[in-house]
Amino acid sequence: MDTKAFKRSLQQSENYHRRGFGHQAEVSGVLNQEYQSNLIQTIREHNYTLTQGQVTIHLAQAFGFCWGVERAVAMAYETRQHFPKERIWITNEIIHNPSVNQRLKEMEVGFIPVKAGEKDFSVVESQDVVILPAFGASVEEMQLLNSKGCTIVDTTCPWVAKVWNSVEKHKKKDYTSIIHGKYNHEETIATSSFADKYLIVLNLEEAEYVAEYILNRKDKAEFLQRFAKACSPGFDPDLDLERVGIANQTTMLKNETEQIGKLFEHTMLKKYGPTALNEHFMSFNTICDATQERQDAMFELVEKELNLMVVIGGYNSSNTTHLQEIAQARGIPSYHIDSGDRIGPGNRVEHKPLGKDLEIKENWLPAGEITVGITSGASTPDKVVEEVIKKIFNLKS
Ligand code: SF4
């Protein structure tokens, strides 16, 4: 399918909007009130540190809402303002944050229902408005909505769109896109829908397995079984790994994406030699600045003497989970929570350890003076971080 031509024609349609509706001034006051925090602003102004009683808080120097998320949330609010009477739908959580998504529900922005694991778009009618979230939507979903004649408000982050452009370039030159991401993450699903041939690798270990296959063809059946859910239909590793381009889910660990890119570059160099490298390997820098900054700030934060770390963000938020991985790798007790409601009653916390279900930890705040590191994912409003800090102070007061 010519996805590029489709996107071009969609962008020219009068039903399609990818900029706001001129209500920025009206919604910015509401957004500030609902999501910003004076306490967090004060901590920022005091070198990201605050001591109250027995508790010292160190905030990461970059955390919380990234501009792509801020933009998407503002566009959703503007959409409500611009279409006060129309039914408004969103194809997925606009961002991975429960409080923001709850607020949208209160504004009567409906989520497309999911039946037996499939989204049911039959609810959408031509006079409805449909918002595409910050991490985008698949080409198939866009085509379906376009064919219904409804109004589409596209809040896809420009960084995500940049990755899609890379994938288009791979496709044009008949390269397979190797996507560093999670095969069932909405952003990766959307990105792979722009590719012709693709393979999704979760981490360096999977990438090494693929690189090894490229150099010494291993067991094809085993390969296909391992990537059954993570490759394009009819994928043939013996033919489709001769020319590869690198793409990424924008919220993956930056260092890992870079390592995976280098690994495939070296693999192709080894197999085809330096003069033919460009005919077998293609890579563009599509690592999002915001993800990079938050991860770098976390690496700095874990250098401090901390008793524990609190990582705040939606449980299905990829970039938040990666922040927790960094704390865990340093051996710092780290609690991933999605809101202040997870703390209490008393000195207990309900948190999600990496790769596990929610757990309750009693007496999670040690006695005496403590130093707590705090960060939050790109889809977490400052208000939620404030709530968490206040609860910690109260518990130790
Ligand atoms: S994390 Fe990066 S890619 Fe994702 S919405 Fe924010 S700015 Fe965009």
pLDDT in tens, 35-79: 999 999 999 999 999 999 999 999 999 999 898 989 999 999 999
Rounded CA gap, 187 and 315, in Å? 16
DSSP β-ladder status, 151-154 and 109-111: unpaired
pLDDT at 287: 80
Atom of ligand 1 nearest to the CA of 250: 3
Q: What distance in Å separates the CA atoms of residue 237 and residue 270, rounded to the nearest whole number?
A: 18
> pLDDT per residue over 17-37, tens digit each?
998 888 888 898 888 888 999
Q: Using the mean position of ligand 1's atoms as its centre, give its distance from the Cα of residue 325 in Å.
A: 19
| pLDDT tens readout for residues 127-145 | 999 999 999 999 999 999 9
State the SS3 of 283-331: ECCCCCHHHHHHHHHHHHHCCCCCCEEEEECCCCCHHHHHHHHHHHHCC
Q: Give the fold, CATH level 3, of 36-65+290-395.
A: Cobalt-precorrin-4 Transmethylase; domain 1 (3.40.1010)
Per-residue b or e along 288-312, where b marks 16 or more CB atoms closer than 10 Å to that residue's CB: bebbbbbbebbeebbeeebbbbbbb
As for ligand 1, residues whose beta carbon falls within 6 Å of it are: 66-69, 134, 157, 159-160, 250-251, 288, 290-291, 319, 378
Q: Provide the pLDDT for residue 109.
A: 95
Determine the Cα–Cα distance for residues 46 and 35; give it in Å rounded to an integer.
20
Interval between CA 214 and ligand 1 midpoint (Å)? 32
Question: 274 CA to middle of ligand 1, Å?
Answer: 34
Question: How many Å apart are CA 376 and CA 336, to the nearest integer?
Answer: 9
Tens of pLDDT, residues 271-297 = 999 999 999 999 988 888 888 899 999
* Domain layout of the chain by residue ranges: 36-65+290-395, 67-157, 159-287
CATH of domain 67-157: 3.40.50.11270
Protein residue with least CA distance to atom 6, ligand 1: 68
Pocket of ligand 1, candidates 160, 187, 248: which has the most ligand atoms within 8 Å of its Cβ, to mutate? 160
Q: pTM, whole model, 2 decimals? A: 0.87
Which atom of ligand 1 lies closest to the CA of 288?
2
Q: What is the model's pLDDT at position 219? A: 92
- Which residue has the least CA distance to atom 7 on ligand 1? 68
Q: How remote is the CA of residue 95 from the centroid of ligand 1, in Å?
A: 10
Protein residue with its CA nearest to atom 8 in ligand 1: 68
Q: Which stretch, 19-28, 232-241, 375-384, has highest mean pLDDT?
A: 232-241
Query: Ligand 1: which atom is nearest the Cα of residue 72?
Result: 5
Q: Whose CA is nearest to atom 5 of ligand 1?
A: 68
Measure the CA–CA gap between 347 and 366, rounded to whole angstroms: 9
Torsion angle of C-alpha atoms 272, 276, 281, 285, degrees rounded to 10: 130
Q: How far is the CA of 287 from the centre of ligand 1 (A)?
A: 9
Query: Which of 18, 155, 288 most suits a substitution to test ligand 1, by most atoms within 8 Å of the C-beta?
Result: 288
Catalytic residues: 187
List phi, psi (to 5°) of 384: -70, -40
| Sequence-ordered list of residues with C-beta below 8 angstroms from that of 114, at least 6 positions apart, any chain | 120
Kindly state the tokens that stand for 177: 């896109």
Probe residue for ligand 1, chosen from 18, 249, 251 as the CB with the greatest number of ligand atoms within 8 Å: 251
Q: Decide if 318 contacts 331 (C-beta within 8 A).
A: no
| CATH architecture of the domain covering 159-287 | 3-Layer(aba) Sandwich (3.40)
Average pLDDT on 173-194 reads: 96
Domains 67-157 and 159-287 share a fold: no
Question: What integer pLDDT is reported at residue 286 of this predicted model?
Answer: 83
Which residue reads 């390269």 in tokens? 175
Q: Which atom of ligand 1 is nearest to the CA of 251?
A: 1
Using the mean position of ligand 1's atoms as its centre, give its distance from the Cα of residue 66 in Å: 6
Q: Report pLDDT for 252.
A: 87
Cα–Cα distance between 273 and 388 in angstroms, integer? 54
